[in-house]
Copies of this chain bind each other. A is one copy, B any other.
Amino acid sequence: MRIALDAMGGDKAPAETVKGAVAAAKTLGIEVLLVGRREEIETELSKHKTAGLPLRVIDAPDVIDMGEPPAQAVRRKPNSSLVIATQLSTGEADAMVSAGNSGAAMAACLFKMGRIEGIERPAIAGLIPTFHGRVLVIDIGANTECRPDNLLQFAIMGSIYMQKVCRVTEPRVALLSNGEEDTKGTALVKETHKLLRSAPVLFTGNIEAKDVPFNTADVVVTDGFTGNILLKMGEGVVSMMTMLIKQELSRDILTKLASAPLIPAFDRIKSRLDYAEYGGAPLLGVNGVGIIAHGRSDAKAVRNAIRAAKHAVEEGTVEAIKSMVKASAPAANK
């Protein structure tokens, strides 16, 4: 298997992307194509032991910046690392990973891979850490405004991903709302609730945001605006509490000394809540595997995003979505 990595994408690229690619090539049994400015990448590669590793540099002179307008950037920079990596994933490689401009990564996947027939709106599915593990939220930002049938397809795609890639036998799918009762929510939520009742997923009803961190569902379905708020609030509160704990535990020298033996326990907490643990977020509904990693990704996050891409290819998520969409087409058009 071959994964094309946008080596120039992300706040810490190319140092961390290259380091992550080296780790992936070493441990995952796949070849990584490092796409970007050859010289910069080779300089980074020279800092690691890469002899015999399945790594190859593909030159791409242009870079799409974080702030650029996505669709425009993709059109104007056909020789950017992102666009070339995505192009490669439709032929020579099996998947694409980028930690760069996420809007542009989405646009590149849409343009180069195309949508799966029958899927109107591809969506980004993000895993968020919870008390017992993780939960998949779909959509976390691809579609600001949605219709009920879009959310129905998100539910189906999310369920397949959790089953195939995260190996949850029968994923419980819940609809995000401001109350558990069927009658709660916006018009969008109420209509989607009705569609999900007859959808080919294990629909468990509405879920309130306060229950999301406690794994009462495996897949949380929502529009991209609300999903973004949910995901980012989670991220914000985790980092706020982490800072608060650090501040309180370093308040005076006695507290500092007392807390030293607890460092392993705090490290375990940190790793249980680490967003980097889960790698990137797949764009589901496109005709290929595209993984969008966090802009702040370090080497570990990049390596894990490559691992997510590998699993998605191995488990045939795209094919599974294709056949599920075909089978559920009448439901989607109800």
Contact = CB atoms under 8 A, between A and B. Distances in A.
Contacts of A232: 178, 208-210
A144 B189 CA distance: 11
Interface stretch (A158-166, A257-265, A278-286, A312-320): A257-265
Nearest to A211: B236
Contact of A229 (B145, B230, B241, B273): B230
Interface residues of A, number: 54
A145 B190 CA distance: 12
B240 A144 contact: no
Contact of A213 (B178, B240, B249, B255): B240
A248 B131 CA distance: 12
Contact of A186 (B145, B210, B268, B273): B145
Nearest to A254: B261
Given A145-B186, A226-B226, A255-B262, 15 more contacts: A131-B240, A131-B244, A141-B178, A144-B178, A178-B224, A185-B225, A209-B231, A209-B233, A212-B233, A213-B233, A213-B237, A238-B241, A248-B265, A251-B265, A258-B258
Interface of A: 130-131, 141, 144-145, 176, 178, 184-187, 189, 208-214, 224-226, 228-241, 243-245, 248-249, 251, 254-255, 258-259, 261-262, 265-266, 268-269, 272-273
